[in-house]
Amino acid sequence: MRNLKEHRSRSEGNLSVVSFGSVEVQEHAMVLGNNPSTSVGPSVELDWDSQSNVTFDTVDDYESHRVYRRSTEQLVMPSCMRVKLLLDNGFTFGEIRRETRKRQKKTRALPMRQAANVLKRFSSWKEQRAKEHDLRMKRILESLE
């Protein structure tokens, strides 16, 4: 295994040295979130305040104790697991249900607002084109006189 603490390379004839100090890992609680991309169930986020800290002296120490890396598919959390995490962190079913409905209501309203904005821009563009058309017609009529 390559030593991650120190890496040496030749760059334009100079010797470069890169070293890493200690690694600090912070653990945070899961809280109710408002991420609109969550399609089913509650959304979870990390709390701002850390609950515990663990410090490793070297990157190699951290790498030897680190849990395996998860694939992208493994990072997707089913809604039942998110509910359990939130319950374990002190939230009630009522709070989870209320926040989930609030987020879903905002998410449903989003496409309607986007459509309204597109329609507003189109109407503005259409009005501008009509004004330009009227001006061209006026110039043509003036040139015929």
Interval 105-143: pLDDT, tens: 777 765 566 666 666 776 777 777 778 878 878 887 777
Which of 76, 56, 77, 75 is CA-nearest to residue 66?
Answer: 56
pLDDT score at 6 = 46
**pTM (2 d.p.):** 0.52
Which of 36, 50, 31, 38 is CA-nearest to residue 95?
Answer: 31
Q: How far is CA 96 from CA 33, 90, 100, in A?
A: 10, 11, 6
pLDDT score at 35 = 80
Contacts of 21 (CB under 8 A, 6+ apart): none
Q: What is the CA radius of gyration of the chain?
A: 29
pLDDT < 70 regions, the chain: 1-14, 109-119, 122, 145
Neighbouring CB atoms inside 10 A of 37's CB total 6
